[in-house]
Amino acid sequence: MLLLAPCWASAQCNPPASCWLMPPQTSTTLTLKWPLVAGATQYQLRYWESSDPGDKTIVDDCGPIPFTLRGLRKNTAYTLQIRSKCGSLTSDWGNPINGATINTSGSCNNLPADVILSAGSSNIDLSWTSTGSHTIRYRLGNSGDWLIIPGALNVMSSSFSITGLSPGMHQVQIKRNCSATASIYLSYNATIESGTGTGGPCLANKNAGKNLSAAGILEINHKCNNPSPFTYGSMIGVNDGGLVFRSFQNETSNQITQLTTQFRNFHTMDEDFNASMQGYELNIKPKDTQPEGTPTHTSYNKGLYTLYRRTHGFSNITGATELLQYGQQSWKEKIYKESDWSAAGPAGIMASYEHYTKKFIDEFAPANGSADQILVANYQVGNELWDYPVKSDYHSLLLGARNAFVGKYGPKSDGKWKMRLMAGAFQAYRDNTCNSILRDFSNCDGGLERHDFIGDYLEVADCDLLKDLDAIDCHPYSFKKATTQWTYPEDPNAETLQIRNLAAWLAANQDTNTGVLQNTHLWSTEFGFDSNPITGVGEKTHSAYLLRGLLLHSRYHFEKVFFYNAFDVARPSDQYYNGLYNSAGFWKLGTHPANGSWASPIAAHGATAKPAWYGMLDFKTRFGEHVFFKSLVEDDEAYVMLIAKPDSSEPYLVFWSPQQT
């Protein structure tokens, strides 16, 4: 019950009652165990060589239990303590215990090689050439405990970033961890300058939302427990996954407009650059044009937008820039390689994408265009980026897009922008690192671990960009963490929690004094479930989960939810029907009469509406002018929400069991 939540926020935070060592203990590791503490969300370990109590190191977010402390020196006595973190509260340190690593032959005389440090507005980046495991610790100033942040105890790659730093001089140390023992630390200093104007750190708390604490959950739940400014009807949009809408090129209507006239198109940049698709390596790249980034084949996409806007009646279209033809690239690599934007390499990306965006504006939303010439209403810089491109390159894309908007439309404050500017889909839920930092390819290959934390990708130095950003985005599919296993939307282990955490991130970083993100809204441009009964959730459950998802988005004041997908992309009889997202549509596909192997979304060809279509259409008909008003109950047994019209008239209670159905 939310009414009981303040009692939790004021609870005391206690350290673990005890802590003990357990096997195995090696020349470089000690393994610890401690009892769980009620209310604790994380734990910290502090340790030091017993002979040097003035040199203490804290390992943040140590776990799971039992926890193995690595990178120790052989034949050395250590003292260790554990404390609890209960949301924003921290306990006292527990009683210290003593332990020692064993002795063995071998040494670690090769120190970290070719270490390079660079300081940004709130980060310090390190790189080195030596291989194997390394440990990195840092502290603000030249005294006090050292801190090892998550991921820094056992770094296997050749670079690492320490982010979210305050201004001031920081000491940073790095050591190698060999099989027998650890090397000594090498020490470096780096200074984060105090930011002023547009050159300083723009985000108040770039890491907000990450592993959101119990207290943080209560805070955002309370902050958003008031009427949403957005009606359910205005929130609903659809995606054209699989580019199925192209099948309507000879049709005068598209049945999806009965539900919504808002749709998100995957804008295929490679078709703008090259009308003949031949595979990635053979296609024209942005660097092959003059000026770099200026496409000459936009007529095909313009014809499609004209059809969708003027003939079919989609009045609010979002263009999310990505690639149609990936060639040999992985499914994650949905945007041009770093080396293909400009002959100047990374340094030329911003200008190249600025030229591309200016051409996009001229063709799809011209500055002096009439209403019927505004074919695209929202411009999204990338679709879902996952871990490619690298952060600095994405910053260049964002800045290039904003420069184009200002260059074509003038300052946003003049009120003449014909499109809204959106960031790509990121998340503020969890963060994982990959084993390498590559430039032209995905860092995590096909893995499902996340390395797309929004605070990293929006940590730009130009605060004016963040003042002009209209929306931030996430794709909170209801998967179990790091899997493609569907689960119910309220599952506490589901990626759907991105909804809540992105709201928390925006709330933490909106600044009415500076204008940073002040007028930025929350979007969810992909949300859905497969409905097939084998690998999906079943059609009736599909309908229920979509409605519950819409209610959850509204509870956190999201402006838009684009359901994935408008249409299935395969028929039940097709080989790939049970593949991921292939049965996620509101409509099942029929068969084109000219060829039995051609699927068709057209009703005259046998396309049929699914239960989810009727459920969403009925909800919009009944409650399209209503808004989320207040959450009354949110627990494992029931969700109860009050919805009403914005003037508080026609109130209804909406309730359901937050369980698998």
pLDDT in tens, 448-472: 667 789 998 999 888 999 999 999 9
Residue 634 is assigned to a structural domain of this protein: no
| Side chain identity, residue 563 | F
Task: State how far the Cα of 81 lies from the Cα of 44, in Å rounded to an integer.
Answer: 8
Q: Please check whether residues 264 and 398 belong to one and the same domain.
A: yes
The predicted model scores a pTM of 0.71
β-pairing, 316-322 vs 116-119, is unpaired
Residue whose C-alpha is closest to residue 443's, from 281, 321, 330: 330
Amino acid identity, position 574: D
Whether residues 343 and 265 fall in one domain: yes
Residue 148 in any domain: the answer is: yes
43 within 8 A of 16, measured Cβ to Cβ: yes
Q: By C-alpha distance, which of 122, 12, 132 is closest to 70?
A: 132
Q: Give me the pLDDT at residue 90, please.
A: 83
Q: Are residues 185 and 291 in the same domain?
A: no
DSSP at 182: B
Question: What total number of domains does the chain contain?
Answer: 3
One domain for residues 93 and 127: no
The answer to whether residues 175 and 292 belong to one domain is no
Neighbouring C-beta atoms of residue 374, cutoff 10 Å: 17
Q: Are residue 428 and residue 547 in the same domain, yes or no?
A: yes
Q: Which residues of 342-368 are buried (b: 16+ CB within 10 A; e: fewer)?
A: beeebebbbbbbbbbbbbbbebbbeee
> Is a pLDDT exceeding 80 seen at residue 2?
no
Looking at residue 6, its pLDDT comes to 29
Token pair for residue 558? 């999201």
Among 142, 168, 194, which residue terminates a domain? 194
Give me the mean pLDDT over the 239-254 stretch. Answer: 97
Do 140 and 91 share a structural domain?
no
Q: What is the 8-class DSSP label of residue 310?
A: I
Residue 631 domain-assigned (yes or no): no
Burial of 187 (0-12, 13-18, 19+ CB in 10 A): exposed
Q: Average pLDDT for residues 23-27, to the nearest whole number?
A: 92
**CATH code: domain of residue 475:** 3.20.20.80
Domain check: are 431 and 334 in the same one? yes
Output the average pLDDT for the chain. 90
Res. 200: pLDDT tops 90 = no
pLDDT at 10: 36
Tell me the residue range of the domain where 572 lies. 230-626
**pLDDT value at 176 more than 90:** yes
Rounded Cα distance between 384 and 395, Å, is 15
Q: What percent of the chain has pLDDT over 70?
A: 93
Task: Tell me how far the alpha carbon of residue 360 is from its chain's centroid.
Answer: 25
Cα separation, 364 vs 559, whole angstroms:
23
Confidence check: pLDDT of 194 > 60: no
- Of the three residues 194, 214, 248, the one that is the final residue of a domain is 194
Q: Averaged over 403-407, what is the pLDDT? A: 96
Distance in angstroms (rounded) separating the CA atoms of residues 45 and 11: 22
Whether 86 maps to a domain, the answer reads: yes
- 166 and 238 in a single domain? The answer is no
**CATH number of domain containing 152:** 2.60.40.10
> What pLDDT, on a 0 to 100 scale, did the predictor assign at position 435?
54
Residue 157 lies in a domain: yes
Q: Where is the domain boundary, 72, 100, 128?
A: 100
Residues whose CB is less than 8 angstroms from the CB of residue 380 and which lie 6 or more positions away in sequence, other chains included: 264, 318, 319, 320, 321, 422, 423, 424, 473, 525
Residue 446 has pLDDT above 90, yes or no: no
Write down the pLDDT at residue 210.
84
- Ramachandran region of residue 306, left (φ > 0), alpha (ψ -120 to 50) or beta? alpha
- pLDDT of residue 4 exceeding 60, the answer is no
Q: Determine how β-strand 97-100 pairs with β-strand 77-86.
A: antiparallel
127: in domain:
yes
Asked whether residue 532 falls in the same domain as residue 602, the answer is: yes
Q: Are residues 260 and 333 in the same domain?
A: yes
pLDDT bucket at 563, cuts 50 / 70 / 90: very high
Q: 105 lies in a domain?
A: no
Q: Which of 199-213, 625-639, 643-657 has the lowest mean pLDDT?
A: 199-213
β-pairing verdict for 521-527 and 471-474: parallel
Which positions ≥6 away from 415 have C-beta within 8 Å? none
My answer on whether 174 and 259 are in the same domain is: no
Q: Is residue 216 part of a domain?
A: no
